[in-house]
Structure 1
Amino acid sequence: MFLSAYHFDGDPTTLVPAYDRMQEGFPPDMFDLHACVVTGSGITVYDGCPSRADFERFAVSPEFRSGVAAAGLPQPRIQPLGEVHYAVAGKTVLR
């Protein structure tokens, strides 16, 4: 699994509802690893894709870009992070 960070800069009180609108367009079971974190400069979304190649396709896809725009989010600063070595979410362990 390849992890990346999508940094959306701006007022979190505006960005969080826009993020929620964007998420309404995706089924929850679509995500293997996904988290939205409120930061001092906006929000950062951590997202895991099955592979780096999948991430590279998704990050530039028209579907992603149009979903971001339709929700009212600014285009993010995208940071590829790397391969996930170990992750725990609740009682689920991902390796």
Structure 2
Amino acid sequence: MEFVEIELTQGNINNNHLYLSSVVEFFPPDSIGGSNEGGLAPRVLEVHSGIASPVRTDIAGDKKIFRRRAWVGEFFEVHNLAAGDRVVIEKTGTDRYHVYPKRT
């Protein structure tokens, strides 16, 4: 099982996103970049968060966050997450990931 953990910041909570810069090497390099970098769309990842249908997204190269992020705010709210809490991103298959709160 491959996974990484991210500690949430107040910026994550305020802006409904997950900073991935500290764990970006966990993801396929071709899933990171501009929306149409070099004329080719980045590799799409499928993210399961347990609160909505899976999200198909890539990672914005400039900010190192999941490009589609509307689900992130709902994920934070449903799980009552705050700055300092930790989130696990687990690789569950080729280009498939599961995101869930780390419970202590």
Is the TM value for this pair above 0.5?
Answer: no
Q: TM-score, normalised by structure 2?
A: 0.30
Higher strand proportion: 1
Higher helix proportion: 1
Q: TM-score, normalised by structure 1?
A: 0.32
- Structure with the greater relative contact order (CA < 8 A, sep ≥ 6): 1 or 2? 1
